Copies of this chain bind each other. A is one copy, B any other.
Amino acid sequence: MTPVERAQMAMVLEVTAYPKPGNVDRCHDYEGTRLEHFLASSILARPALEKAAGGRGGLGEVLREAVELTTAHGGGNTHFGAFILLIPLLRGGDIGGAIRAVQGSTVEDAVSFYRAFSLTKVRMLAGDPLDVDDPRALDIIRGKEMTLLDIMDHSKEHDMVAREWVNGFALTRRAADFLLGSGCGREAVVEAFLRLLSSEIDTFIVKEHGPLVAEEVRRRAAGILGGRGDLGAFDAECIARGINPGSTADITIAGIYIALGEGWEWDCSGKA
């Protein structure tokens, strides 16, 4: 499997793993965003992923291309957070290379990133001077000569995906280790997802529902891993309440990409 195929497989394996509390999975869609949108996004992003792996284009430009390729359909944002992680990982080959890649990011990467961001419906925090909907944000970025890594540093407190850029992809590593320690196949993806969710509050839930709900979800995930509570019921409750641990999903995808490169078996046959 090539690195790009590993990235595509990671996107496909994450979204089809189930039951996965609150997210689109094999058994659940959201209104307007269906399983098919995620699968289409995994296929249609390929030219941008190839550019990332082939060293062509800046990180921000490739990110913008990935978002453009995958918002052609009507399903809204599917893999924006995943691309923020996969593109430096593909550029660098592994976590060490990705750390070097993000350290080399530029002001132009930051500008392209903002243009990508504005194609999605992803919310930033109200009142942030770098709000994507505020046209002055680009002036601030250029005026302060902020690189894309600086942008991620600015966002790290409130966004666990951005935080990966500044903390050496620590949760990506953790997700990969959970997978490598959990056996093979989609059951391992579900377990790794739950372990990640139980170990770190999901900042996407914080943005949508506040920190108390995010902490409740973390604690419930830990409880299920400890044998307290039913995963199916928890999934149903999250969906009913619109609680979507989307950033944990993004990091799980990055973790699958790394784990596949380190011998983790998505297929339990011993062949793949």
Residues in chain A within 8 A of chain B (CB atoms): 1, 5, 8-9, 12-13, 16, 26-27, 32, 34-37, 39-40, 42-44, 46, 72-75, 185-186, 266-272
Contacts and interface: CB of A to CB of B under 8 A. Distances in A.
A43 B269 contact: no
A195 to B, nearest CB: 20
10 contacts: A5-B44, A26-B27, A34-B186, A36-B267, A40-B267, A73-B267, A73-B271, A74-B269, A74-B271, A75-B269
Contacts of A75: 267, 269
A36 B12 CA distance: 8
Contact of A44 (B1, B16, B27, B270): B1
Count copies of this chain in the complex.
2
A43 B267 contact: no
A36 B266 contact: yes
A40 B9 contact: yes
A232 to B, nearest CB: 14
A43 B42 contact: yes
Given A12-B40, A43-B12, A43-B43, A268 B74 contact: yes
Q: Which of A32, A36, A40, A268 has the most CB of B within 10 A?
A: A36
A27 B29 CA distance: 13
Contacts of A13: 36
A73 B1 CA distance: 11
Contacts of A9: 40, 43
Contacts of A42: 43
A8 B270 CA distance: 26
Q: List the 4 shortest-distance A-B pairs measured between CB atoms, nearest first.
A: A74-B269, A74-B271, A73-B272, A73-B267
Nearest to A44: B5
Given A74-B268, A268-B74, A16 B36 contact: yes
Contacts of A185: 36
Given A12-B36, A72-B272, A75-B267, 4 more contacts: A1-B44, A13-B36, A26-B27, A74-B269
A12 B35 CA distance: 10
A103 to B, nearest CB: 31
A35 B12 CA distance: 10
B72 A271 contact: yes
Given A74-B272, A271-B72, A16 B43 contact: no
A257 to B, nearest CB: 13
Contacts of A27: 26-27
A42 B42 CA distance: 11
Nearest to A271: B74
